[in-house]
Chain A
């Protein structure tokens, strides 16, 4: 059951309706039951794995906080077991386990394991006290809008908002509809062409491969940020404000700027719990310590997605970019400081370079093998013709591709000019009748869009790219 399915359309109004009639003190328990109900609907095995990891971490958190002498040992054991838990499923997904074959990772494994790890580390560092209520803690870990693909909301942030008193149903619904539109109009229309190109890399040349090179990151951004919007929108409907995950990443002017804007909940997590401790431990080693910490951090970013060569190369390439960025930042800043009239050129060139460096790494992320990825990169300059060859366009359908690209252009414009913020600014100043007319029109549009997008003729459940992690 994905967030774009008809089953979910039936599940959601029922949930929201029930949530509203419940007394505040029962809401967290309701969220916990609903979250486990959602996970069970996908896989009972995944729900059992989630429950086991949650109970273990809750007990470990209490033990770590109550120990004086053996706190470090308890903390280290808990973190090691959670890391092994994550690595076991990541490895089992790519390596056959005897007669069992390959094991699919349980739903949301990478997301909730990181939530659990941050909880144990924060308790050990004394930043938070162990959760007093197991129900609240378990609800924070299993919160169904975020279980599929994040964002990774740390338990402390969730627990500070419970019991959820203030719900924002319209704001949440509009965010949800925005996410559905991004997914169903942009990502799903770009997907067939991208899938075709990356399934037939060795049969394609030149502009077809170049089309795949440029299209996949756009599809990925539309798809992943859509899922984040849906998760944040659902969260608002249940009174939980989730963390921001994207901030117009393709406008970044350097690779370090890019990683402050892309999958922010993951990169912030790694910055706090991997990069900073590593950097502190290696601070006496100067530049070598910095390069080492960045490399481990970015390899962790890559391998968090799965134990494959493609994800490893994706992490290694981004590590190399970031090391080069960190080692030259002072020189670049100095150069442009003495030449302020060239700042526009620096920003423009930086944006273009960052975009292409990330797109290059994304080929390794998407291609089936490293060999396929190197084929794409080495053959996309061979051959000429139109934007893409007829066979490639026919695979996805020219109309779908054009619809997806037009939708993407509207997305970029909407994120650049933010008409919602503009309206929020002028709304108090406009006459009451105008305000209510616009509100009613917007409400009708949002509800219509919600039904049109979820109950599409001949619609099928579509999965999200990031829900497999």
Chain B
């Protein structure tokens, strides 16, 4: 899986978690660009991504994420590394 495919798949997760059916993601997007994306529900998003892709993130990885592009890149890397 590459970053672009990961971003496409992440769109569904974002739409469900933030209850915004028309949300369109792009790499440079940050929490400030998505309504209701704050520290309280950030981990809900992470848990949803982990379930969808059957991967696990560490705290260090999660705190290093700055943009949607970072999340897509990390997700793609983890999915590819998973046997």
Residues of A within 8 A of B (CB): 125-127, 256, 260, 271-272, 275-277, 279-281, 283, 290, 294, 322, 326, 329-330, 333, 337
Interface residues of B in 44-65 (CB under 8 A from A): 46-47, 57-60, 62-64
The residue on A at minimum CB distance from B42 is A276
B residues less than 8 Å from A126 (CB atoms): 60, 64
| A276 in contact with B38 (CB, 8 Å) | no
> Are A276 and B40 closer than 8 Å at their CB atoms?
no
Shortest A140–chain B CB gap in Å is: 20
For A322, the chain B residues whose CB sits under 8 A away are: 40
Q: Within 8 Å CB of B59, what residues of A?
A: 276-277, 280-281
Q: Does B24 contact A (CB under 8 A)?
A: no
Task: Tell which of B39, B47, B60, B64 touches A271, judged by Cβ atoms closer than 8 Å.
Answer: B39
Q: How many A-B residue pairs have CB under 8 A?
A: 42
A260 close to B19 (CB less than 8 A): no
C-alpha spacing A41/B47, complex, angstroms: 51
On whether A275 and B64 interact (CB within 8 A), knowing A280-B59, A281-B59, A283-B46, the answer reads: no
Total interface residues in chain B, CB < 8 Å: 16
CA–CA, A126 to B58, complex, Å? Answer: 13
Say whether B23 faces chain A, with CB atoms less than 8 Å apart. no
B62 touches A280 (CB 8 A): yes
Distance in Å: Cβ of B39 to nearest Cβ of chain A: 4
Can you list 24 A-B contacts with CB-CB less than 8 angstroms, sorted by A residue number?
Answer: A125-B60, A126-B64, A127-B63, A271-B39, A272-B63, A275-B39, A276-B42, A276-B43, A276-B59, A276-B63, A277-B59, A277-B63, A280-B43, A280-B58, A280-B59, A280-B62, A281-B59, A283-B43, A283-B46, A294-B40, A326-B40, A329-B36, A333-B36, A337-B19
The interface residues of chain A lying within 8 Å CB-to-CB of B63 are 125, 127, 272, 276-277
8 Å CB contacts to A: which residues of B19-47? 19, 36, 38-40, 42-43, 46-47
Note all chain B residues with C-beta closer than 8 A to A275.
39
Closest to A284 in B: B47
Q: How far is the CB of A8 from chain B (nearest CB, A)?
A: 36
A35 vs B42: C-alpha distance in the bound complex, in angstroms? 38
Residue of A nearest to B50 (CB): A283
Most-contacted residue by chain A among B19, B62, B63, B64 (CB, 10 A): B63
Q: How far, in Å, is B20 (CB) from chain A's closest CB?
A: 11
- Nearest CB on A from B64, distance (A): 6
Complex Cα gap A294–B39 (Å): 11
